[in-house]
Structure formats: C-alpha cells, structure tokens
Amino acid sequence: MTIKSDIEIARAATMKPIAEVAARVGIPADAIVPYGNTKAKVSFKHIDSLKDGKDGKLILVTAISPTPAGEGKTTTTVGLGDGLNRIGKKAMMCLREPSLGPCFGVKGGAAGGGYAQVVPMEDINLHFTGDFHAITSAHNLLSALIDNHIYWGNSLGFDTRRIAWKRVLDMNDRALREIVNSLGGVANGFPRTDGFDITVASEVMAILCLSLDLKDLERRLGNIIVGYTRDKTPIRARELKADGAMTVLLKDALMPNLVQTLENNPVFIHGGPFANIAHGCNSVLATKSALKIADYVVTEAGFGADLGAEKFFDIKCRKAGLKPDAAVVVATVRALKMHGGVAKDNLKTENVLAVNKGCENLKRHLENMAKFGVPIAVAINRFVTDTDAEMQEVMKAAESLGARAFVCTHWADGGAGTEALARHIVELADGGRSAFKPLYPDDMTLRDKVKTIATEIYRASDIACDASVETAFKDLEAGGFGKLPVCMAKTQYSFSTDPNKRGAPEGHIVPVRELRLSAGAEFVVVVTGEIMTMPGLPRVPAADSIRLNADGQIEGLF
C-alpha cells in the first residue's frame, strides 16, 4: 500500500461549491461573499442577524507540550468536527489562518493532514482571501503615518528612540529585523532605528482576532500605543487619525472565511495571531458566529495546553464572554515517548515504559485544565507504529485523572476515525458539567496574574523579575492597565522556560524578562525567553522547489 501525501489526498477531494456548504448550515446565498468557488466570507449583515439565536456548544482542542514528533492538533480538530457531523450533529470547526511567509522556508501547510484536511489547501496557505495582506497594509499605513507626522513637524512630540510600532511583512526576512530608516537626506526624514516583524506578529492581527465588530475594531486600533514622548507619555494611533483608515483597510478582513473539510463540512478559518506575543486563537467573530450557526463548534489554540488553552480561556473566552463546554487534549504515543526520554530516531520501537513516563506531561496538562472547570477528554492521534500496549498506557494515564482517552484514526479514516471521541464529547458538552472560570480575576495585579499562571499552570515555585520589570509592572498599574489579562510568551516545549526540560518539571523559577503592552489588543505580553518575531529562511528554502507543474498545480509547497 502506498501512503498518499496530504497534497495528493487534497487534490483527489471533491469540493462542493461553497454556497452549498454554507446552505447546509443555514447560511443563505446572499450572506456569502465568494472568493472563487470554494472560499467565501460571511457578511456582517448575516452575522448581525444571528445575534439573538441560541449558542451551540464550544469545544477546545488543545495538546500536550509539543515535541519534534508532532501532535496533530489541527488535524484532530478537523477530524473531530468531521466525526461530529458523521454522527449526525450540526458541527463547525474554527481554525487559524496559516501565514504565507513561512511556506517559503520549510515545507509546510497548516490545514490538517491525511484524511482530516481543510481545502482548498493551496489557496488557504497562500493568499487565501487576502486577510493577512490587509493586516500588512493597515499596519504599515500606521507606520508610515508615524514617520510622516515626525517629518512634518512632530507636533505630538514623538521621542524617536521610543517608537513602539515597527513595520511588518508576511515574509521570512531576517535582513529586515533591524534597520535604520529615513536615510538619504532632508526629503526622506529623520534617520532612526526600526525593523520589521512578520505580519502574524502584528498587534493588528491580535486586534482583528479579538474584535467583536467593526466599531470595536476601530476603537482598539485607535488605542494602539505607537510611541512615547520624551517624558514617556504614550501616543496612540488615534492621535495620528489612523484608526479610521486602518478600519477601512480591514473591513473585509474582519469577515470570517468559510471553507470545507474533505468531507464537505463547514470550517471557519479566520485570523492567525502568534501564540507567544499574542493569544494564538482564531477570531472571536468566527467563533461567535459559528456558535450561532452550528450546534457544536470545535476550535483549537496554539502550542500546548499550558500556553494555548490558558490564553484561550484567560484572554479569548474571558474577553469575548465565551463559555467552553468541553476540551480535548491531543497526544501522540510518539510525542509521549519523547517526553519520556526517547530520542526522535527511536520512536518506532515499542517502549511502554517511556510512554508511561511521558504521560506525566499529559497528566499535568489534564490537571491544569481541570482548574478552568471544563470537562476533558484525551484524543490519541494514532500513528501506524503505535502498539496496543502503548495506547493502553495513555488510556490508563487519562483515567487516573478521571478523563477518558480515545484512539483516533482520522488521519487515515477521516471523520469515521473519531466517532467514539465525538460521541463522548457530545455527552460531556451536553451534560452541563462545564463550570468554566478563568484562572485569575481581572482585579488581581498584573504581577500576581503572572505568578498565578507560573505556579498553578507551569508549577514553578516563583517568578523572578529584575528591577526594570518590577518598575514596568508598577508603571502599567499606574497607567491604568492593571485590569488587563496577561499574555505569556514562554517556550512551548516545556512547562518551564527551558525548552529542553520535557515531561512535567516543577519547582523551577520563571524569569520575567520584559513586559510589552498591547493596548489595542488589550493584554500585557509577559516575555520569559527569546521571542523571534521575524523568522529567517533556511540554507535551502522551500521556495527553491516551489513551482507550477505542467497541469498548473503547485509543487513543492507541501
């Protein structure tokens, strides 16, 4: 048997016209804005018309701490959604949009895998409906307005050493990380240090994903702090009159994008904020709309549960008033073996002991999730090399914490491979067992919020802040930002800040290096390690082999 590649499977799929996919969940033809025949946006008018309807059940798919072995969170989200549809439920999925730039670095694609994919995958991974391009434009318009303001007299009094707004491109381009701009003389402005981030790292992306509607989007854009005066007074985007034009650039991008799975079930793919300097979830508008449209909505959050689920609960759900009904933690036997100390090259050999040891990571995440009051199940995303004994070990670990684990074969079987999990999730979600609450109250100080996450979720003994960070905490409280949630930027590979500490480390110290205020997105980013906001390309970039073949199909992208 030859195993088909993701792209071969995707190409063999029979997509339905997107209007038909939409109609099946009650979205009428005049409510969709088509982008080609298999992608569409859903109009604000339609979304507004849904607002008094009943909400469906919200299910989060999260994962153990990621390893190079892979977990398959998106794939499981798609598989579970297809499974729910297969057992007769009206279910939708809400995913994040992939970024264009990284496609040219390492072969990739982020639309699921195997028989649990979202299509058209090439379009989704390239320009899609142009959302990221709109974000790039809106972000860079603000950047241009800053330097233009300084050029024409700087009446707001920008301290050019304290400009807090870089430029962005959706490209892996290390040469732009740090630049000096405005060179070349009087006509080009005042030279200053500057730099580019990748578009997904833009605060505009986080704002788009958290905005409730166009008004809220405009308000948040206006609140962005773009820099400071010499006496450290913040200057907002609103003072540059940038918020209106940025909103105009983003008005289409704010509409959720509708696509379909290989099994023709509806999926919103909308927004893709970083999971470190932002909250790493798809847009609030897509999730809220899906809850009005479908009875069950399956969504995912970036990285492992310590980062992704925590931010999903403490930032997205808190701010958008969402109440998740169940959560799934995805694990693979292979990844658990790595957490149990096995090297990547030895993952094909049965090793029950290593699985048992690696399950400490899974159990830690399960314990953590319970703190949010949401009922949990475990999805074992099965690989062909997994043995029964290994899978039994995972089930035992889950059961020891009162959760059930299900072997899921959606990669090979599509929705048929997650039926058992789907039935269980329906039971959990319908059972009214969820007593969702965020981990910390709004009123807690920022420093205590960080400490609470560090001790309760990361199981650290304490946080460590040097004098400048302590001052930053105080300044933010004094500036009126104390009630914001915190957005942790920590390595995803460990509960600790050391990426090499797999499993379930505890008693460590979490050093807080820096605080960054996202006044428009309305959270405070807490940096605990190196944060890369502009990737580079590898020695042999994927771009080298990306091309159109004789049939006009894209080769080399996946």
Q: Cα(320)–Cα(479) distance, rounded to whole angstroms?
A: 24
**Residue 18: CB partners within 8 Å, gap ≥ 6?**
32, 34, 37, 38, 39, 40, 258, 259, 260
- In the annotation, is 303 catalytic? yes
Nearest residue (CB) to a copy of itself, 152 versus 432: 152
Nearest residue (CB) to a copy of itself, 137 versus 260: 137
Q: Cα(532)–Cα(198) distance, rounded to whole angstroms?
A: 9
Stretch that binds a copy of itself, among 65-73, 193-201, 466-474, 481-489 (CB under 8 A): 193-201
What is the radius of gyration, based on Cα positions, of the chain?
Answer: 23
Which DSSP string do the residues of 158-174 spell out, in sequence order?
EEEEEE---EEESS--G
Nearest residue (CB) to a copy of itself, 191 versus 341: 191
Task: Please name the amino acid found at residue 399.
Answer: E
Per the annotation, does 471 bind a ligand?
Answer: no
Nearest residue (CB) to a copy of itself, 184 versus 480: 184
180 part of the interface to a copy of itself, by CB under 8 A = yes
- In the annotation, is 481 catalytic? no
Please answer whether residues 331 and 339 qualify as being in contact, where contact means their C-beta atoms are separated by less than 8 angstroms: no
Nearest residue (CB) to a copy of itself, 315 versus 557: 557
Stretch that binds a copy of itself, among 227-235, 443-451, 509-517, 544-552 (CB under 8 A): 544-552
- In the annotation, is 389 catalytic? no
Question: Among residues 204, 224, 242, 454, which is the contact residue for a copy of itself, using CB under 8 A?
Answer: 242
Please answer whether residues 361 and 66 qualify as being in contact, where contact means their C-beta atoms are separated by less than 8 angstroms: no
Nearest residue (CB) to a copy of itself, 285 versus 327: 285
- In the annotation, is 73 catalytic? yes
Task: Please name the amino acid found at residue 362.
Answer: L
443 part of the interface to a copy of itself, by CB under 8 A = no
Q: What character string, x for contact with a copy of itself (CB under 8 A) and - otherwise, covers 84-123?
A: ----------------x---x-------------------
Please answer whether residues 258 and 265 qualify as being in contact, where contact means their C-beta atoms are separated by less than 8 angstroms: no
135 part of the interface to a copy of itself, by CB under 8 A = no
Q: Cα(324)–Cα(60) distance, rounded to whole angstroms?
A: 7
Per the annotation, does 41 bind a ligand?
Answer: no
Degrees to nearest 5, angle at CA 241 with 239 and 243: 105
392 part of the interface to a copy of itself, by CB under 8 A = no
Q: Which of 41, 73, 288, 502 is catalytic?
A: 73
Q: Cα(176)–Cα(294) distance, rounded to whole angstroms?
A: 43
Q: Cα(511)–Cα(243) distance, rounded to whole angstroms?
A: 36
Question: Among residues 25, 164, 444, 546, which is the contact residue for a copy of itself, using CB under 8 A?
Answer: 546
Nearest residue (CB) to a copy of itself, 305 versus 534: 534
Per the annotation, does 244 bind a ligand?
Answer: no
Nearest residue (CB) to a copy of itself, 182 versus 356: 182
- In the annotation, is 275 catalytic? yes
Question: At closest approach, how far in Å is the CB of 526 from a copy of itself?
Answer: 23
Pick the closest to residue 497 from 485, 511, 480, 484 (CA basis): 511
Residues belonging to the chain: 558
14 part of the interface to a copy of itself, by CB under 8 A = no
3-state secondary structure of 256: coil
400 part of the interface to a copy of itself, by CB under 8 A = no
133 part of the interface to a copy of itself, by CB under 8 A = yes
Nearest residue (CB) to a copy of itself, 137 versus 332: 137
- Which of positions 52-91 make contact with a copy of itself (CB under 8 A)? none
Q: Which of 62, 75, 76, 491 is catalytic?
A: 75
Question: At closest approach, how far in Å is the CB of 122 from a copy of itself?
Answer: 8
Q: Where are the alpha helices (DSSP H) in 341-430?
A: 352-370, 388-399, 410-413, 419-430
Please answer whether residues 413 and 115 qualify as being in contact, where contact means their C-beta atoms are separated by less than 8 angstroms: yes
161 part of the interface to a copy of itself, by CB under 8 A = no
Q: Cα(180)–Cα(471) distance, rounded to whole angstroms?
A: 29
219 part of the interface to a copy of itself, by CB under 8 A = no
Stretch that binds a copy of itself, among 113-121, 248-256, 313-321, 495-503 (CB under 8 A): 248-256
Question: Among residues 179, 212, 352, 412, which is the contact residue for a copy of itself, using CB under 8 A?
Answer: 179
189 part of the interface to a copy of itself, by CB under 8 A = yes
Cα first-last separation, the chain: 21
Stretch that binds a copy of itself, among 235-243, 386-394, 401-409, 507-515 (CB under 8 A): 235-243
Please answer whether residues 309 and 372 qualify as being in contact, where contact means their C-beta atoms are separated by less than 8 angstroms: yes
252 part of the interface to a copy of itself, by CB under 8 A = yes
3-state secondary structure of 18: helix
Stretch that binds a copy of itself, among 85-93, 303-311, 491-499, 539-547 (CB under 8 A): 539-547
Degrees to nearest 5, angle at CA 156 with 153 and 162: 100
Stretch that binds a copy of itself, among 33-41, 76-84, 392-400, 413-421 (CB under 8 A): 33-41
Question: At closest approach, how far in Å is the CB of 36 from a copy of itself?
Answer: 5
DSSP state of 317: I
- In the annotation, is 232 catalytic? no
3-state secondary structure of 322: coil
Which DSSP string do the residues of 54-73 spell out, in sequence order?
PP-EEEEEEESPP-TT---H
Q: Cα(11)–Cα(348) distance, rounded to whole angstroms?
A: 29
Question: At closest approach, how far in Å is the CB of 542 from a copy of itself?
Answer: 8
Q: Where are the alpha helices (DSSP H) in 431-544?
A: 446-452, 467-478
User: Known catalytic residues?
Assistant: 73, 75, 96, 107, 275, 303, 383, 411
Q: Which residues are annotated as a binding site for ATP?
A: 67-74
